[in-house]
Amino acid sequence: MYELQGGLEAEVGRLLCFLFVRFGQMSAETIGRLTVKKGEAVYNVVVIGAGTAGLVTAAGTAGLGGRVALIERNKMGGDCLNFGCVPSKALISSARLIQQIHEAEKWGLERQQPQFVFEKVFVVATGSRAAIPKIEGIDQVPYFTNETIFDELKEKPESMIVLGGGPIGCELGQVFSRLGVKVTIVQRSTQLLPREDFDVAEFMQKRFTAEGICVRLKAAAKRVSKRDGKVVLEFADAEPITADLMLVAAGRTPNLRALNLEAAWVDYDQHGVKANAYLQTSQPHIYAGGDITNRLKFTHTADFTARIVVRNILVPFQFLRQKVDWSVVPWCTYNDPEVARVGLSEKEAKQKNNEYDLFVVPLEDVDRAVVESEELGFAKILTAKRSDKILGATIVARHAGDLLHEFVLAMKSGIGLGTIASTIHAYPTFAELARKAGDKYNKTRLTPTAKKIFAWLYARARK
């Protein structure tokens, strides 16, 4: 066993290529490069990175009585707290309120003109996590990313190009549009939110357009330059766009820089550190959790993998270790309305040749949504063909992220749509959306034979 002394932080970037290390099992070469002294066991686990995954791992291990070294090069809390979920959702909340004030007449209130004060709200740190696409001239043009926009944008621009129509681009594009900025979302592929079904993306696109956001699809940016203080984005076969500033939201890149993974023989590729189902890297004593390895990069998946890492580090035998189960993972894009999903989309079901039945419930069928003027949206529930087994659910609704969890729990527990239909849901609630999907499923069970039997029973009762 070894005791670490000083200088670890400086060494970390150069030496360690992973998030979690058990010193007792580190390779001699790696240990040799650290300032280490042979002696008593000091740390059970070293965690590199104090974001969600790192903090949960460190807290979990310490909570179980382990001794942990937690190393962070920047701010505690990582992406989510400093320049991801928290600042973006705070801003989304302001933008939503502004929109509601604009629409005040819908609720019988007088219309107001809300003013957002730009300087006070943006609180963030630095860091480099956004992927910067290879566009000619991008190095010569100032642009924002999620790491800088919350902190450094001090004045309202007239116009903004949002490069990327994925979740971050869509969330921030709508936010800035609602704050009064003329936004153009530029998306290389054929739809916004490419992970979601086309009809879902189309619905959101229509909503964006109605709010005054310009959406450019199939637009592969070719060159960017600065002219007369404005950013000019050029395309191979479309008109250029000129705006005051550009926000790059074109995907995420794993934070591998400065880790020198080769030194520890840890395999990785452009998607991040490779890990097996137990979250072990190519060095079984080195674990990875969170965005550095997860395909689905969310705070809750970072938390989920970190909990498994805590357990697997403690468990001495592989057969007792827990595998990651990615079968039921919910997520939500926090637009207005929100887009939330768990399990398969229709597109994925088709790709996988999964036979399915589809139940669509428009939000206008839900009384509470109508009463609250929030009938914009729908739910798509996929079940295995001729069965009530839920394969996936997509909800587009103002509170879709919350509504989704009835389906998340149902999928996790093997509860079918039929059971949801027979569960009493309070009236009037948005949650009735799930029950109505169940009702639609039940109607499909009314086969011609069943119909004949019922007709006969009713006829008999009338005699």
Ligand X SMILES: Cc1cc2nc3c(=O)[nH]c(=O)nc-3n(C[C@H](O)[C@H](O)[C@H](O)COP(=O)(O)OP(=O)(O)OC[C@H]3O[C@@H](n4cnc5c(N)ncnc54)[C@H](O)[C@@H]3O)c2cc1C
Which residues of this chain interact with ligand X, rule CB under 6 A? Answer: 12-13, 48-54, 71-74, 78-80, 84-85, 88, 127, 146, 168, 255, 258-259, 290-292, 297-300, 302, 334
Whose Cβ is closer to ligand X: residue 274's or residue 368's?
274
Decide if 354 contacts 436 (C-beta within 8 A): no
DSSP class of residue 130? B
Whose Cβ is closer to ligand X: residue 185's or residue 437's?
185
Whose Cβ is closer to ligand X: residue 80's or residue 231's?
80
- Residue nearest ligand X by beta-carbon distance: 51
Cβ neighbors of 442 (< 8 A, separation 6 or more) are: 418, 421
Whose Cβ is closer to ligand X: residue 341's or residue 436's?
341
Phi, psi of 430 (to 5 degrees): -65, -25
Whose Cβ is closer to ligand X: residue 332's or residue 349's?
332
State the minimum distance, in angstroms, from the CB of residue 6 to ligand X: 16
Whose Cβ is closer to ligand X: residue 71's or residue 382's?
71
CA separation for the pair 434, 431 (Å, rounded): 6
Whose Cβ is closer to ligand X: residue 174's or residue 383's?
174
Whose Cβ is closer to ligand X: residue 168's or residue 417's?
168
Q: How many residues does the chain have?
A: 463
CA separation for the pair 371, 364 (Å, rounded): 10
H, E, C per residue of 20-39: EECHHHCCHHHHHHCCEEEC
CA separation for the pair 277, 314 (Å, rounded): 16
Whose Cβ is closer to ligand X: residue 334's or residue 359's?
334
Whose Cβ is closer to ligand X: residue 264's or residue 361's?
264
Question: What are the tokens at 269?
Answer: 């590729």
State the minimum distance, in angstroms, from the CB of residue 348 to ligand X: 20
Cβ neighbors of 424 (< 8 A, separation 6 or more) are: none
Decide if 21 contacts 259 (C-beta within 8 A): no
How big is the CA angle at 219 (ends 214 and 224), to the nearest 5 degrees? 90
State the minimum distance, in angstroms, from the CB of residue 166 to ligand X: 10
State the minimum distance, in angstroms, from the CB of residue 439 to ligand X: 31
State the minimum distance, in angstroms, from the CB of residue 401 to ligand X: 9
CA separation for the pair 22, 119 (Å, rounded): 44
Q: Which residues pair with 3 in a beta bridge?
A: 37
CA separation for the pair 392, 437 (Å, rounded): 12
State the minimum distance, in angstroms, from the CB of residue 44 to ligand X: 19
Evaluate the omega torsion of the peptide bond into residue 428 and state whether it is cis, within 30 degrees of 0.
Answer: yes
CA separation for the pair 226, 208 (Å, rounded): 27
CA separation for the pair 34, 49 (Å, rounded): 18
State the minimum distance, in angstroms, from the CB of residue 335 to ligand X: 11
Q: Which residues pair with 241 in a beta bridge?
A: 233
Say if strands 182-186 and 214-216 run parallel, antiparallel, or are unpaired. parallel
State the minimum distance, in angstroms, from the CB of residue 128 to ligand X: 9
State the minimum distance, in angstroms, from the CB of residue 293 to ligand X: 8
State the minimum distance, in angstroms, from the CB of residue 46 to ligand X: 11
Neighbours of 314 (CB within 10 A): 16
Question: What are the tokens at 112?
Answer: 């107001």
